Structure 1
Amino acid sequence: MNFNHLEYVVKTAEYGSISKASGKLYLSQPYLSGVIKGLEEELGYKIFHRSKSGIEVTELGEEFIKSAKIILLELKKIRELNYADEKPLSISCYYATYIMEMFLKFKNSTKLKLPDKIREMGNREVLESVLAGESTMGIVFFAQEKKGKYYKLAENMGLQMEGLFQPMPMFAMMSENHKLAKTEEIEIKELGGYPYVSYDDTSSKMFLKLLGIEENEQLLEVSDRGSFYDAVMSGEYLTIMAYKNIPQKSGVKLIPIRDKKLYLTSCYVISKNYQLTKREKEFLEFMTTDRRKTDGNL
Protein backbone atom coordinates (compact mmCIF):
# COMPACT_ATOMS: atom_id res chain seq x y z
CA MET A 1 0.00 0.00 0.00
CA ASN A 2 1.26 3.48 -0.80
CA PHE A 3 -0.16 7.00 -0.76
CA ASN A 4 -0.86 6.98 -4.50
CA HIS A 5 -3.02 3.90 -4.08
CA LEU A 6 -5.06 5.67 -1.40
CA GLU A 7 -5.67 8.53 -3.78
CA TYR A 8 -6.64 6.14 -6.57
CA VAL A 9 -9.30 4.51 -4.40
CA VAL A 10 -10.69 7.85 -3.22
CA LYS A 11 -10.96 9.13 -6.79
CA THR A 12 -12.55 5.89 -8.00
CA ALA A 13 -15.23 6.24 -5.32
CA GLU A 14 -15.83 9.87 -6.29
CA TYR A 15 -16.23 9.08 -9.99
CA GLY A 16 -18.23 5.91 -9.34
CA SER A 17 -16.43 4.09 -12.14
CA ILE A 18 -13.01 2.52 -12.58
CA SER A 19 -13.13 3.41 -16.26
CA LYS A 20 -13.87 7.09 -15.62
CA ALA A 21 -11.38 7.31 -12.74
CA SER A 22 -8.60 5.78 -14.84
CA GLY A 23 -9.16 8.44 -17.49
CA LYS A 24 -9.10 11.27 -14.96
CA LEU A 25 -5.99 9.84 -13.28
CA TYR A 26 -4.26 9.19 -16.64
CA LEU A 27 -3.92 5.50 -15.82
CA SER A 28 -4.91 2.49 -17.86
CA GLN A 29 -8.09 0.80 -16.70
CA PRO A 30 -6.41 -2.62 -16.22
CA TYR A 31 -3.67 -1.04 -14.11
CA LEU A 32 -6.13 0.82 -11.84
CA SER A 33 -8.31 -2.27 -11.53
CA GLY A 34 -5.23 -4.29 -10.58
CA VAL A 35 -4.15 -1.75 -7.96
CA ILE A 36 -7.58 -1.83 -6.32
CA LYS A 37 -7.73 -5.63 -6.42
CA GLY A 38 -4.24 -5.90 -4.90
CA LEU A 39 -5.16 -3.43 -2.17
CA GLU A 40 -8.32 -5.37 -1.34
CA GLU A 41 -6.30 -8.59 -1.09
CA GLU A 42 -3.82 -6.87 1.22
CA LEU A 43 -6.62 -5.53 3.43
CA GLY A 44 -8.62 -8.74 3.46
CA TYR A 45 -11.93 -7.10 2.51
CA LYS A 46 -13.66 -5.60 -0.49
CA ILE A 47 -13.67 -1.84 -0.98
CA PHE A 48 -16.03 -1.99 -3.96
CA HIS A 49 -18.82 -4.25 -5.12
CA ARG A 50 -18.51 -4.74 -8.89
CA SER A 51 -21.39 -5.33 -11.28
CA LYS A 52 -22.25 -4.80 -14.94
CA SER A 53 -23.75 -1.42 -14.07
CA GLY A 54 -20.58 -0.19 -12.33
CA ILE A 55 -19.17 -0.17 -8.81
CA GLU A 56 -20.60 0.47 -5.36
CA VAL A 57 -18.63 1.20 -2.21
CA THR A 58 -18.97 -1.49 0.46
CA GLU A 59 -19.67 -0.72 4.10
CA LEU A 60 -16.04 -1.38 5.03
CA GLY A 61 -15.01 0.52 1.91
CA GLU A 62 -16.79 3.62 3.23
CA GLU A 63 -14.73 3.45 6.42
CA PHE A 64 -11.55 2.87 4.43
CA ILE A 65 -12.22 5.92 2.23
CA LYS A 66 -12.94 8.15 5.25
CA SER A 67 -9.60 7.17 6.77
CA ALA A 68 -7.81 7.48 3.44
CA LYS A 69 -9.04 11.07 3.03
CA ILE A 70 -7.76 11.96 6.50
CA ILE A 71 -4.36 10.41 5.72
CA LEU A 72 -4.11 12.27 2.40
CA LEU A 73 -4.99 15.59 4.05
CA GLU A 74 -2.36 15.05 6.74
CA LEU A 75 0.16 14.11 4.05
CA LYS A 76 -0.62 17.37 2.28
CA LYS A 77 0.03 19.29 5.51
CA ILE A 78 3.34 17.49 6.03
CA ARG A 79 4.48 18.34 2.51
CA GLU A 80 3.60 21.99 3.04
CA LEU A 81 5.45 22.42 6.36
CA ASN A 82 8.49 23.71 4.52
CA TYR A 83 6.55 26.68 3.15
CA ALA A 84 5.81 28.22 6.56
CA ASP A 85 3.32 31.09 6.07
CA GLU A 86 3.74 31.05 2.29
CA LYS A 87 1.65 27.98 1.58
CA PRO A 88 0.78 27.04 -1.99
CA LEU A 89 -2.60 28.04 -3.34
CA SER A 90 -5.10 25.20 -3.59
CA ILE A 91 -8.15 26.50 -5.43
CA SER A 92 -11.22 24.92 -6.97
CA CYS A 93 -13.12 27.16 -9.35
CA TYR A 94 -16.11 27.20 -11.65
CA TYR A 95 -15.11 27.29 -15.33
CA ALA A 96 -13.90 30.90 -15.70
CA THR A 97 -11.36 32.23 -18.16
CA TYR A 98 -10.74 35.33 -16.07
CA ILE A 99 -9.83 33.41 -12.91
CA MET A 100 -7.35 31.23 -14.78
CA GLU A 101 -5.78 34.30 -16.38
CA MET A 102 -5.43 35.99 -12.99
CA PHE A 103 -4.05 32.81 -11.43
CA LEU A 104 -1.28 32.63 -14.05
CA LYS A 105 -0.55 36.38 -13.83
CA PHE A 106 -0.34 36.15 -10.04
CA LYS A 107 2.10 33.24 -10.17
CA ASN A 108 4.31 35.09 -12.64
CA SER A 109 4.21 38.28 -10.57
CA THR A 110 5.54 36.69 -7.38
CA LYS A 111 9.12 35.72 -6.67
CA LEU A 112 8.09 32.61 -4.77
CA LYS A 113 7.92 29.45 -6.82
CA LEU A 114 5.36 27.30 -5.06
CA PRO A 115 3.42 24.26 -6.32
CA ASP A 116 0.12 26.14 -6.56
CA LYS A 117 -2.92 24.23 -7.83
CA ILE A 118 -6.19 25.27 -9.48
CA ARG A 119 -8.91 22.93 -10.73
CA GLU A 120 -12.06 23.78 -12.68
CA MET A 121 -15.42 22.12 -11.97
CA GLY A 122 -19.10 22.84 -11.37
CA ASN A 123 -20.25 25.02 -8.46
CA ARG A 124 -21.55 22.11 -6.39
CA GLU A 125 -18.27 20.27 -6.93
CA VAL A 126 -16.36 23.39 -5.82
CA LEU A 127 -18.23 23.42 -2.51
CA GLU A 128 -17.67 19.69 -2.04
CA SER A 129 -13.97 20.11 -2.80
CA VAL A 130 -13.59 22.76 -0.08
CA LEU A 131 -15.68 20.70 2.34
CA ALA A 132 -13.48 17.64 1.76
CA GLY A 133 -10.31 19.67 2.27
CA GLU A 134 -9.11 19.02 -1.27
CA SER A 135 -9.06 22.79 -1.82
CA THR A 136 -8.64 25.48 0.82
CA MET A 137 -10.53 28.04 -1.22
CA GLY A 138 -13.24 27.80 -3.86
CA ILE A 139 -14.61 30.34 -6.34
CA VAL A 140 -18.17 30.07 -7.63
CA PHE A 141 -20.33 31.99 -10.11
CA PHE A 142 -24.11 31.86 -10.29
CA ALA A 143 -27.15 33.80 -11.49
CA GLN A 144 -28.11 36.55 -9.04
CA GLU A 145 -31.55 34.95 -8.58
CA LYS A 146 -29.83 31.91 -7.04
CA LYS A 147 -27.79 33.87 -4.49
CA GLY A 148 -29.96 32.92 -1.52
CA LYS A 149 -29.95 29.26 -2.50
CA TYR A 150 -26.16 29.09 -2.76
CA TYR A 151 -25.57 30.94 0.51
CA LYS A 152 -27.99 28.55 2.23
CA LEU A 153 -26.27 25.53 0.66
CA ALA A 154 -22.87 26.77 1.81
CA GLU A 155 -24.19 27.34 5.34
CA ASN A 156 -25.68 23.85 5.49
CA MET A 157 -22.32 22.42 4.41
CA GLY A 158 -20.48 24.34 7.13
CA LEU A 159 -18.84 26.69 4.65
CA GLN A 160 -18.40 30.45 4.60
CA MET A 161 -19.20 32.35 1.40
CA GLU A 162 -18.04 35.90 0.70
CA GLY A 163 -18.78 38.19 -2.27
CA LEU A 164 -15.99 38.65 -4.79
CA PHE A 165 -16.76 40.90 -7.80
CA GLN A 166 -19.63 43.26 -8.47
CA PRO A 167 -22.55 41.51 -10.23
CA MET A 168 -21.91 41.37 -13.96
CA PRO A 169 -24.55 41.67 -16.70
CA MET A 170 -24.93 38.63 -18.93
CA PHE A 171 -25.33 38.48 -22.69
CA ALA A 172 -26.04 35.98 -25.42
CA MET A 173 -22.63 35.04 -26.80
CA MET A 174 -21.88 33.60 -30.21
CA SER A 175 -19.40 33.66 -33.05
CA GLU A 176 -19.48 36.60 -35.47
CA ASN A 177 -20.45 33.99 -38.07
CA HIS A 178 -23.58 32.88 -36.24
CA LYS A 179 -26.99 33.44 -37.87
CA LEU A 180 -28.01 35.83 -35.07
CA ALA A 181 -24.74 37.77 -34.94
CA LYS A 182 -26.25 40.86 -36.57
CA THR A 183 -29.24 40.93 -34.23
CA GLU A 184 -29.33 43.95 -31.91
CA GLU A 185 -31.28 42.25 -29.09
CA ILE A 186 -32.56 38.77 -28.41
CA GLU A 187 -35.29 37.25 -26.23
CA ILE A 188 -34.54 34.28 -24.01
CA LYS A 189 -37.15 32.08 -25.70
CA GLU A 190 -35.25 32.50 -28.98
CA LEU A 191 -32.23 30.79 -27.45
CA GLY A 192 -34.17 27.53 -27.33
CA GLY A 193 -34.51 27.50 -31.09
CA TYR A 194 -30.80 27.30 -31.82
CA PRO A 195 -27.98 24.92 -30.90
CA TYR A 196 -26.93 25.90 -27.37
CA VAL A 197 -23.73 24.88 -25.57
CA SER A 198 -23.57 24.51 -21.80
CA TYR A 199 -21.35 22.89 -19.20
CA ASP A 200 -22.68 19.58 -17.91
CA ASP A 201 -22.51 20.24 -14.17
CA THR A 202 -25.52 20.58 -11.88
CA SER A 203 -25.36 24.37 -11.51
CA SER A 204 -25.24 24.92 -15.28
CA LYS A 205 -28.29 22.69 -15.69
CA MET A 206 -30.04 24.75 -13.01
CA PHE A 207 -29.27 27.88 -15.03
CA LEU A 208 -30.81 26.34 -18.16
CA LYS A 209 -33.93 25.62 -16.14
CA LEU A 210 -33.95 29.22 -14.91
CA LEU A 211 -33.92 30.34 -18.55
CA GLY A 212 -36.61 27.82 -19.46
CA ILE A 213 -34.54 26.21 -22.22
CA GLU A 214 -33.51 22.97 -20.50
CA GLU A 215 -35.54 21.01 -23.05
CA ASN A 216 -33.65 22.40 -26.04
CA GLU A 217 -33.27 19.42 -28.39
CA GLN A 218 -30.14 21.00 -29.85
CA LEU A 219 -28.40 21.32 -26.47
CA LEU A 220 -24.72 20.34 -26.32
CA GLU A 221 -23.25 19.68 -22.87
CA VAL A 222 -19.47 19.75 -22.41
CA SER A 223 -17.17 19.34 -19.41
CA ASP A 224 -14.27 21.66 -20.24
CA ARG A 225 -13.65 25.21 -21.45
CA GLY A 226 -11.79 24.12 -24.58
CA SER A 227 -14.79 22.23 -25.94
CA PHE A 228 -17.11 25.03 -24.81
CA TYR A 229 -15.28 27.70 -26.80
CA ASP A 230 -14.71 25.41 -29.77
CA ALA A 231 -18.49 24.95 -30.00
CA VAL A 232 -19.14 28.69 -29.84
CA MET A 233 -16.44 29.56 -32.37
CA SER A 234 -17.79 26.96 -34.80
CA GLY A 235 -20.53 29.43 -35.61
CA GLU A 236 -23.26 26.88 -34.86
CA TYR A 237 -23.71 27.24 -31.10
CA LEU A 238 -24.59 30.14 -28.85
CA THR A 239 -24.60 30.47 -25.07
CA ILE A 240 -25.00 33.03 -22.28
CA MET A 241 -22.01 34.54 -20.53
CA ALA A 242 -20.95 37.52 -18.44
CA TYR A 243 -18.53 39.33 -20.70
CA LYS A 244 -17.36 42.95 -20.91
CA ASN A 245 -14.98 44.87 -23.12
CA ILE A 246 -14.64 42.31 -25.90
CA PRO A 247 -11.07 42.14 -27.20
CA GLN A 248 -10.68 43.56 -30.69
CA LYS A 249 -10.85 40.92 -33.43
CA SER A 250 -11.97 38.33 -30.88
CA GLY A 251 -14.41 36.79 -33.34
CA VAL A 252 -17.09 36.88 -30.62
CA LYS A 253 -20.37 38.78 -30.69
CA LEU A 254 -22.37 39.70 -27.57
CA ILE A 255 -26.05 40.51 -27.84
CA PRO A 256 -28.12 42.09 -25.04
CA ILE A 257 -31.13 40.14 -23.79
CA ARG A 258 -34.31 42.14 -24.34
CA ASP A 259 -36.81 40.54 -21.98
CA LYS A 260 -34.76 39.81 -18.87
CA LYS A 261 -31.77 41.39 -17.15
CA LEU A 262 -29.44 38.62 -16.03
CA TYR A 263 -26.54 39.22 -13.66
CA LEU A 264 -23.74 36.90 -12.59
CA THR A 265 -22.77 36.85 -8.92
CA SER A 266 -19.35 35.66 -7.74
CA CYS A 267 -18.13 34.49 -4.33
CA TYR A 268 -15.14 32.83 -2.77
CA VAL A 269 -15.76 29.95 -0.39
CA ILE A 270 -13.78 28.67 2.59
CA SER A 271 -14.46 26.42 5.56
CA LYS A 272 -15.97 28.15 8.56
CA ASN A 273 -13.34 29.48 10.98
CA TYR A 274 -10.65 29.00 8.31
CA GLN A 275 -8.08 31.79 8.29
CA LEU A 276 -6.96 32.83 4.83
CA THR A 277 -3.21 32.58 4.35
CA LYS A 278 -1.16 35.60 3.36
CA ARG A 279 -0.83 34.25 -0.16
CA GLU A 280 -4.58 33.64 -0.51
CA LYS A 281 -5.32 37.20 0.63
CA GLU A 282 -2.79 38.52 -1.87
CA PHE A 283 -4.39 36.51 -4.68
CA LEU A 284 -7.89 37.79 -3.86
CA GLU A 285 -6.59 41.36 -3.74
CA PHE A 286 -4.71 40.82 -7.01
CA MET A 287 -7.87 39.63 -8.75
CA THR A 288 -10.20 42.32 -7.46
CA THR A 289 -7.69 45.12 -8.09
CA ASP A 290 -7.09 43.95 -11.65
CA ARG A 291 -10.83 43.58 -12.13
CA ARG A 292 -11.38 47.23 -11.29
CA LYS A 293 -8.83 48.20 -13.92
CA THR A 294 -10.10 46.11 -16.84
CA ASP A 295 -13.24 44.06 -17.16
CA GLY A 296 -13.02 40.87 -19.20
CA ASN A 297 -15.00 37.70 -19.66
CA LEU A 298 -15.72 35.17 -16.94
Structure 2
Amino acid sequence: MRQLLNCPAPAKLNLFLHVTGRRADGYHLLQTVFQLIDRGDVLHFTLRDDDAIRRVTDVPGVPEEQDLIVRAAHKLRAEAIRRTGRTPPGVDIAIDKILPMGGGLGGGSSDAATTLMALNALWQAGLSRQELMDLGLPLGADIPFFVFGRTAFAEGVGEALQAVDVPACWYVVIEPGVAVPTAKIFTSEHLTRNTPLVIMSDFSSYLAKRNGLQGFGRNDLQQVATRLFPPVAEAVEWLGGYGDARMTGSGACVFCAFDSEEQADAVLAKVPGAWNGWKAKALQRHPLLDMSPSTESCEA
Protein backbone atom coordinates (compact mmCIF):
# COMPACT_ATOMS: atom_id res chain seq x y z
CA MET A 1 0.00 0.00 0.00
CA ARG A 2 1.13 3.53 -0.79
CA GLN A 3 -1.70 5.40 0.88
CA LEU A 4 -4.54 5.26 3.38
CA LEU A 5 -7.29 7.78 2.74
CA ASN A 6 -10.39 8.95 4.61
CA CYS A 7 -9.22 7.72 8.02
CA PRO A 8 -11.64 8.90 10.72
CA ALA A 9 -10.54 10.50 13.98
CA PRO A 10 -13.79 10.60 15.99
CA ALA A 11 -14.42 12.97 18.86
CA LYS A 12 -15.15 11.91 22.42
CA LEU A 13 -17.44 13.13 25.15
CA ASN A 14 -16.80 12.71 28.88
CA LEU A 15 -20.10 11.43 30.27
CA PHE A 16 -18.75 12.37 33.69
CA LEU A 17 -15.30 13.48 34.80
CA HIS A 18 -14.15 13.33 38.42
CA VAL A 19 -10.80 14.56 39.71
CA THR A 20 -9.94 12.20 42.54
CA GLY A 21 -6.41 13.25 43.47
CA ARG A 22 -3.03 14.46 42.28
CA ARG A 23 0.21 12.54 41.85
CA ALA A 24 3.56 13.72 43.14
CA ASP A 25 4.60 14.58 39.56
CA GLY A 26 1.66 16.97 39.23
CA TYR A 27 -0.54 14.79 37.03
CA HIS A 28 -4.17 14.67 38.14
CA LEU A 29 -5.91 11.39 38.88
CA LEU A 30 -9.24 11.06 37.11
CA GLN A 31 -12.25 8.86 36.71
CA THR A 32 -14.40 9.26 33.62
CA VAL A 33 -16.40 7.49 30.96
CA PHE A 34 -15.19 8.26 27.45
CA GLN A 35 -17.87 8.08 24.76
CA LEU A 36 -16.93 8.05 21.06
CA ILE A 37 -19.25 9.91 18.69
CA ASP A 38 -19.64 9.86 14.92
CA ARG A 39 -18.23 13.31 14.28
CA GLY A 40 -14.55 14.05 13.93
CA ASP A 41 -11.58 14.96 11.78
CA VAL A 42 -10.53 12.92 8.74
CA LEU A 43 -6.89 12.14 7.91
CA HIS A 44 -5.16 11.02 4.71
CA PHE A 45 -1.75 9.33 4.53
CA THR A 46 0.41 9.04 1.41
CA LEU A 47 3.89 7.51 1.43
CA ARG A 48 6.77 9.57 0.04
CA ASP A 49 9.88 8.59 -1.90
CA ASP A 50 12.11 10.13 0.78
CA ASP A 51 12.11 9.89 4.59
CA ALA A 52 10.36 13.19 5.39
CA ILE A 53 7.27 13.26 7.61
CA ARG A 54 5.14 16.21 6.55
CA ARG A 55 1.78 17.62 7.53
CA VAL A 56 0.63 19.05 4.22
CA THR A 57 -2.44 20.85 5.58
CA ASP A 58 -2.11 24.15 7.42
CA VAL A 59 -3.71 24.09 10.87
CA PRO A 60 -3.98 27.66 12.24
CA GLY A 61 -2.32 28.04 15.62
CA VAL A 62 -0.58 24.65 15.52
CA PRO A 63 2.98 24.66 14.11
CA GLU A 64 3.76 21.51 12.17
CA GLU A 65 6.60 20.39 14.44
CA GLN A 66 4.37 20.72 17.53
CA ASP A 67 1.39 18.91 16.07
CA LEU A 68 0.58 15.64 17.84
CA ILE A 69 0.03 14.06 14.42
CA VAL A 70 3.64 14.69 13.40
CA ARG A 71 5.05 13.83 16.82
CA ALA A 72 3.11 10.53 16.87
CA ALA A 73 4.40 9.64 13.40
CA HIS A 74 8.01 10.30 14.41
CA LYS A 75 7.60 8.28 17.59
CA LEU A 76 6.10 5.31 15.75
CA ARG A 77 8.82 5.38 13.10
CA ALA A 78 11.54 5.38 15.75
CA GLU A 79 9.95 2.31 17.32
CA ALA A 80 9.61 0.63 13.93
CA ILE A 81 13.31 1.23 13.24
CA ARG A 82 14.24 -0.17 16.65
CA ARG A 83 12.21 -3.33 16.03
CA THR A 84 12.98 -4.04 12.39
CA GLY A 85 16.27 -2.27 11.69
CA ARG A 86 14.78 -0.64 8.61
CA THR A 87 13.56 2.92 8.13
CA PRO A 88 9.97 3.25 6.91
CA PRO A 89 9.42 5.74 4.08
CA GLY A 90 8.31 9.29 4.74
CA VAL A 91 4.68 10.24 4.64
CA ASP A 92 2.50 13.21 3.71
CA ILE A 93 -0.37 13.66 6.17
CA ALA A 94 -3.39 15.73 5.18
CA ILE A 95 -6.22 16.54 7.56
CA ASP A 96 -9.79 17.68 7.13
CA LYS A 97 -10.09 19.59 10.40
CA ILE A 98 -13.66 19.54 11.69
CA LEU A 99 -13.36 19.62 15.48
CA PRO A 100 -12.65 22.91 17.27
CA MET A 101 -9.46 23.34 19.26
CA GLY A 102 -9.94 23.92 22.97
CA GLY A 103 -13.33 22.25 22.85
CA GLY A 104 -12.78 19.27 25.15
CA LEU A 105 -13.60 16.84 22.32
CA GLY A 106 -10.13 15.27 22.17
CA GLY A 107 -9.50 16.28 18.57
CA GLY A 108 -5.71 16.47 18.74
CA SER A 109 -5.44 13.21 20.67
CA SER A 110 -7.83 11.45 18.31
CA ASP A 111 -5.83 12.68 15.31
CA ALA A 112 -2.65 11.30 16.90
CA ALA A 113 -4.31 7.95 17.65
CA THR A 114 -5.56 7.63 14.07
CA THR A 115 -2.03 8.45 12.90
CA LEU A 116 -0.59 5.66 15.05
CA MET A 117 -3.15 3.11 13.87
CA ALA A 118 -2.99 4.04 10.18
CA LEU A 119 0.81 4.24 9.97
CA ASN A 120 1.19 1.02 11.94
CA ALA A 121 -0.71 -0.60 9.05
CA LEU A 122 0.87 1.42 6.24
CA TRP A 123 4.43 0.89 7.49
CA GLN A 124 3.71 -2.71 8.53
CA ALA A 125 5.29 -1.89 11.88
CA GLY A 126 3.54 -4.77 13.62
CA LEU A 127 2.74 -3.10 16.96
CA SER A 128 -0.17 -4.48 18.96
CA ARG A 129 -3.01 -2.26 20.08
CA GLN A 130 -1.64 -2.20 23.64
CA GLU A 131 1.81 -1.26 22.34
CA LEU A 132 0.29 1.62 20.36
CA MET A 133 -1.55 2.74 23.50
CA ASP A 134 1.70 2.70 25.49
CA LEU A 135 3.49 4.60 22.71
CA GLY A 136 0.82 7.29 22.66
CA LEU A 137 0.47 7.88 26.40
CA PRO A 138 3.53 10.17 26.80
CA LEU A 139 2.15 12.36 24.02
CA GLY A 140 -1.30 12.77 25.54
CA ALA A 141 -3.37 11.11 28.25
CA ASP A 142 -6.43 10.71 25.97
CA ILE A 143 -4.54 8.98 23.13
CA PRO A 144 -4.68 5.48 24.70
CA PHE A 145 -8.48 5.69 24.81
CA PHE A 146 -8.79 6.46 21.11
CA VAL A 147 -6.46 3.57 20.25
CA PHE A 148 -8.43 1.33 22.67
CA GLY A 149 -11.38 2.24 20.49
CA ARG A 150 -14.38 1.45 22.67
CA THR A 151 -16.60 3.35 25.09
CA ALA A 152 -14.57 3.05 28.27
CA PHE A 153 -14.50 3.60 31.99
CA ALA A 154 -11.12 5.26 32.58
CA GLU A 155 -8.98 5.81 35.68
CA GLY A 156 -5.48 6.94 36.56
CA VAL A 157 -4.49 9.81 34.28
CA GLY A 158 -6.90 8.31 31.76
CA GLU A 159 -4.86 5.32 30.63
CA ALA A 160 -6.44 2.53 32.74
CA LEU A 161 -9.38 1.51 30.55
CA GLN A 162 -12.25 -0.96 30.77
CA ALA A 163 -14.87 -1.32 28.04
CA VAL A 164 -18.34 -0.37 29.21
CA ASP A 165 -21.77 -0.64 27.59
CA VAL A 166 -23.95 2.44 27.33
CA PRO A 167 -27.36 2.93 25.70
CA ALA A 168 -27.54 4.01 22.06
CA CYS A 169 -28.39 7.69 21.89
CA TRP A 170 -27.88 10.98 20.09
CA TYR A 171 -26.15 14.08 21.41
CA VAL A 172 -26.61 17.76 20.77
CA VAL A 173 -23.27 19.53 21.15
CA ILE A 174 -22.79 23.30 21.39
CA GLU A 175 -19.55 25.12 20.64
CA PRO A 176 -19.82 28.32 22.75
CA GLY A 177 -17.26 30.19 20.64
CA VAL A 178 -14.33 30.16 23.07
CA ALA A 179 -11.24 27.94 23.33
CA VAL A 180 -10.48 26.73 26.85
CA PRO A 181 -6.79 26.04 27.63
CA THR A 182 -6.62 22.78 29.56
CA ALA A 183 -3.69 23.93 31.70
CA LYS A 184 -5.64 26.96 32.89
CA ILE A 185 -8.40 24.73 34.24
CA PHE A 186 -6.15 22.16 35.95
CA THR A 187 -4.03 24.81 37.67
CA SER A 188 -6.99 26.75 39.06
CA GLU A 189 -7.24 27.13 42.83
CA HIS A 190 -10.97 26.52 42.48
CA LEU A 191 -10.61 23.00 41.08
CA THR A 192 -11.97 20.21 43.28
CA ARG A 193 -9.39 17.43 43.51
CA ASN A 194 -10.89 15.07 46.08
CA THR A 195 -14.06 13.64 44.57
CA PRO A 196 -14.73 10.20 46.11
CA LEU A 197 -13.89 7.19 43.97
CA VAL A 198 -16.61 5.28 42.17
CA ILE A 199 -16.39 1.85 40.53
CA MET A 200 -17.53 0.91 37.05
CA SER A 201 -20.49 -1.08 38.38
CA ASP A 202 -21.76 2.10 40.08
CA PHE A 203 -22.03 3.71 36.64
CA SER A 204 -23.50 0.61 34.96
CA SER A 205 -26.05 0.07 37.73
CA TYR A 206 -27.10 3.71 37.56
CA LEU A 207 -27.72 3.43 33.82
CA ALA A 208 -29.73 0.25 34.28
CA LYS A 209 -31.94 1.80 36.95
CA ARG A 210 -32.44 5.10 35.14
CA ASN A 211 -32.60 3.61 31.62
CA GLY A 212 -30.58 6.49 30.28
CA LEU A 213 -27.44 8.60 30.51
CA GLN A 214 -28.81 11.50 32.51
CA GLY A 215 -27.42 12.56 35.81
CA PHE A 216 -24.54 10.28 36.88
CA GLY A 217 -21.75 12.19 38.59
CA ARG A 218 -20.55 15.52 37.24
CA ASN A 219 -17.66 17.18 35.46
CA ASP A 220 -15.39 18.60 38.16
CA LEU A 221 -13.74 20.89 35.61
CA GLN A 222 -17.01 22.55 34.68
CA GLN A 223 -17.24 24.79 37.73
CA VAL A 224 -13.83 26.24 36.92
CA ALA A 225 -14.47 26.69 33.21
CA THR A 226 -17.85 28.35 33.70
CA ARG A 227 -16.30 30.78 36.19
CA LEU A 228 -13.49 31.73 33.80
CA PHE A 229 -15.43 31.57 30.53
CA PRO A 230 -19.00 32.96 30.76
CA PRO A 231 -20.03 31.66 27.29
CA VAL A 232 -19.57 28.11 28.60
CA ALA A 233 -21.87 28.88 31.53
CA GLU A 234 -24.45 30.34 29.15
CA ALA A 235 -24.37 27.24 26.95
CA VAL A 236 -24.78 24.93 29.96
CA GLU A 237 -27.74 26.96 31.19
CA TRP A 238 -29.45 27.07 27.80
CA LEU A 239 -28.99 23.41 26.88
CA GLY A 240 -29.87 22.46 30.45
CA GLY A 241 -33.42 23.50 29.64
CA TYR A 242 -33.72 20.28 27.62
CA GLY A 243 -31.95 17.77 29.85
CA ASP A 244 -28.80 17.12 31.83
CA ALA A 245 -26.40 19.40 29.97
CA ARG A 246 -22.76 19.33 30.94
CA MET A 247 -19.35 20.27 29.62
CA THR A 248 -17.01 17.70 28.07
CA GLY A 249 -13.37 17.46 29.09
CA SER A 250 -11.89 20.77 30.16
CA GLY A 251 -14.32 22.56 27.84
CA ALA A 252 -15.53 24.50 26.04
CA CYS A 253 -18.11 22.28 24.32
CA VAL A 254 -21.37 21.45 26.09
CA PHE A 255 -23.57 18.43 25.34
CA CYS A 256 -26.84 16.76 26.22
CA ALA A 257 -28.03 13.22 25.45
CA PHE A 258 -31.32 12.38 23.73
CA ASP A 259 -33.01 9.06 23.07
CA SER A 260 -33.70 9.71 19.39
CA GLU A 261 -32.40 11.68 16.43
CA GLU A 262 -35.79 13.40 16.19
CA GLN A 263 -35.44 14.75 19.73
CA ALA A 264 -31.94 15.97 18.96
CA ASP A 265 -33.14 17.66 15.76
CA ALA A 266 -35.91 19.46 17.63
CA VAL A 267 -33.44 20.95 20.11
CA LEU A 268 -30.85 21.68 17.45
CA ALA A 269 -33.35 23.78 15.54
CA LYS A 270 -33.62 26.10 18.54
CA VAL A 271 -29.88 26.67 19.17
CA PRO A 272 -29.17 30.42 19.18
CA GLY A 273 -27.40 31.64 16.07
CA ALA A 274 -24.43 32.94 18.07
CA TRP A 275 -23.35 29.33 18.73
CA ASN A 276 -22.36 26.48 16.47
CA GLY A 277 -24.54 23.51 17.33
CA TRP A 278 -24.56 20.02 15.86
CA LYS A 279 -25.76 16.49 16.53
CA ALA A 280 -23.81 13.26 16.74
CA LYS A 281 -24.62 9.62 17.30
CA ALA A 282 -22.92 7.54 19.98
CA LEU A 283 -20.34 5.09 18.64
CA GLN A 284 -19.62 1.82 20.41
CA ARG A 285 -16.41 1.13 18.44
CA HIS A 286 -13.75 3.20 16.73
CA PRO A 287 -14.15 2.79 12.94
CA LEU A 288 -10.48 1.81 12.54
CA LEU A 289 -10.98 -1.26 14.73
CA ASP A 290 -12.68 -2.81 11.71
CA MET A 291 -10.25 -1.52 9.07
CA SER A 292 -9.36 -4.06 6.40
CA PRO A 293 -5.59 -4.58 6.08
CA SER A 294 -5.84 -4.80 2.27
CA THR A 295 -7.66 -1.57 1.43
CA GLU A 296 -6.28 1.87 0.62
CA SER A 297 -9.23 3.59 2.26
CA CYS A 298 -10.04 3.57 5.96
CA GLU A 299 -13.72 3.86 5.11
CA ALA A 300 -15.78 0.74 5.68
TM-score by length of 2: 0.24
Superposition TM-score, scaled by structure 1 size:
0.24
Which has a greater percent of helix? 1
- Larger RCO (CA within 8 A; separation ≥ 6): 2
Which protein has the bigger strand share?
2
